[in-house]
Amino acid sequence: MTHDDQNTDHPQPEPEVLPDAGYRAGFVSFVGRPNVGKSTLTNALVGQKVAITSSKPQTTRKAIRGIVHEDTGQLIIVDTPGIHRPRTLLGERLNDLVQSTLSDVDVIGLCVPANEKIGPGDKFINEQLDHYPRAKKVAIVTKIDAAPRPTTAEQLSEVQKLREWDLIIPVSATSSIQLDTLVRELIALMPTSEPLYPADAITDEVLEDRIAEYIREASLEGVHDELPHSIAVTIDDMIEREDKDILDIFANIFVERDSQKAIIIGKGGSRLRDVGQQARIPIEKLVGKQVFLSIRVKVAKDWQRDPKLLGRLGF
């Protein structure tokens, strides 16, 4: 992460110790329309160390994406699958998850891109935030590298009209602008607390979940319409080979219909091979060794509406 504080030649006075200064730690969740840059921001804040930590999670929260450690405190970034109007049972469960997640966090950061006008989607999500009075609300204007300065300034004043914010801040995740400031300001909004995680913890998502997510991402490349919501990935087994430094991973891609299965597999299996190749890159990076990936595509009819199947697929 770059340091964007101004440097001067003068010796800096010691930072003033405020009466209530102390270590702060808490949970933040970034919400916003699809594509506004939530994942990119999370990754940039946590750093590229998409590491698996050996430490056991100390909470039961499922969706912790990353933990940022600073001298002043700890920022635990919790993932939400996005607030949307439920159409299926899956949608409802995801919304339940959002509800329980957001009811628990200390800060909610609404992400709005600098380079797109605020629309009904942003306003809908902003209104939903009223249901979480406990959380402090922060507006994050993302992607400022992609907008001329006056446009960003205009966006900041539009965002200001949405509600009383505890903080409004412009950032760019890809150009590392204002990321240190964002971390500092978010920590300042957290309650004083003991560290909630050990200093080497970066995420407590289990390895299998991350691997499944990479396969799901790769399987979504180039597909559209309703298919994305019909895909679920499970991992059956991960086995270290005894004779070689290779990890065998056996995964399933579940779809809802035969027609979708055909799309995922592609002509002569070509698409599925691409999915495997594409997914292997981040997975090998993650596990730090060569991976052999075996993916089977299975049809679980209407799994989004079937409570039993949903349970089996991890929802």
Ligand X SMILES: Nc1nc2c(ncn2[C@@H]2O[C@H](COP(=O)(O)OP(=O)(O)OP(=O)(O)O)[C@@H](O)[C@H]2O)c(=O)[nH]1
Contact predicate 100/20, CB 8 Å: no
Three-state DSSP class for 26?
strand
Q: Is 220 near ligand X (CB under 6 A)?
A: no
* Nearer to ligand X (CB atom), residue 93 or residue 312: 93
35 is in an annotated binding site: yes
Closest CA to 111 of 148, 76, 150, 83: 83
DSSP 8-state code for residue 35:
T
Query: 23 — phi, psi (to 5°)?
Result: -70, 135
Is residue 2 a contact residue for ligand X (CB under 6 A)? no
**Which range binds ligand X by CB under 6 A, 58-66, 172-180, 202-210, 240-248?**
172-180
The C-alpha atoms of residue 247 and residue 284 are separated, in whole angstroms, by 9
- Which one of 70, 104, 145, 154 is in contact with ligand X (CB under 6 A)? 145
Residue whose CB is less far from ligand X, 135 or 147: 147
Per-residue exposure over 229-258, b if at least 16 CB sit within 10 Å of its own CB, e if not:
ebbbbbbeeeeeeeeeeebebebbbbbbee
Query: For residues 161 and 222, what is the distance between their CA atoms, to the nearest angstrom?
Result: 37
The answer on whether 34 is annotated among ligand-binding residues is yes
Q: Could you give the dihedral angle defined by the CA atoms of residues 54, 56, 58 and 63, in that order, rounded to the nearest 10 degrees?
A: 80
d(CA 72, CA 51): 22
- Residue reference for tokens 């960003």: 152
- Give yes or no for residue 277 binding ligand X (CB under 6 A): no
Q: How far apart are CA 24 and CA 71, in angstroms?
A: 10
Residue of the chain from 28, 36, 68, 272 that contacts ligand X (CB under 6 A): 36
Binding residues among 68-87 for ligand X as defined by CB under 6 A: 82
Choosing from 52, 63, 146, 196, the residue that interacts with ligand X (CB under 6 A) is 146
Q: Using the rule CB under 6 A, which residue among 3, 5, 21, 35 binds ligand X?
A: 35
Smallest distance, ligand X to C-beta of residue 77, A: 12
The only residue of 137, 143, 271, 280 in contact with ligand X, by rule CB under 6 A: 143
In the complex with ligand X, the residue whose CB is nearer, 55 or 174, is 174
Number of other residues whose CB lies within 10 A of the CB of residue 187: 21
According to the binding rule CB under 6 A, does residue 40 interact with ligand X? yes
Q: Does residue 180 interact with ligand X by CB under 6 A? A: no
- How many residues bind ligand X (CB under 6 A)? The answer is 16
Smallest distance from ligand X to CB 248, Å = 29
**Interface residues toward ligand X, by CB under 6 A:** 32, 34-40, 82, 142-143, 145-146, 172-174
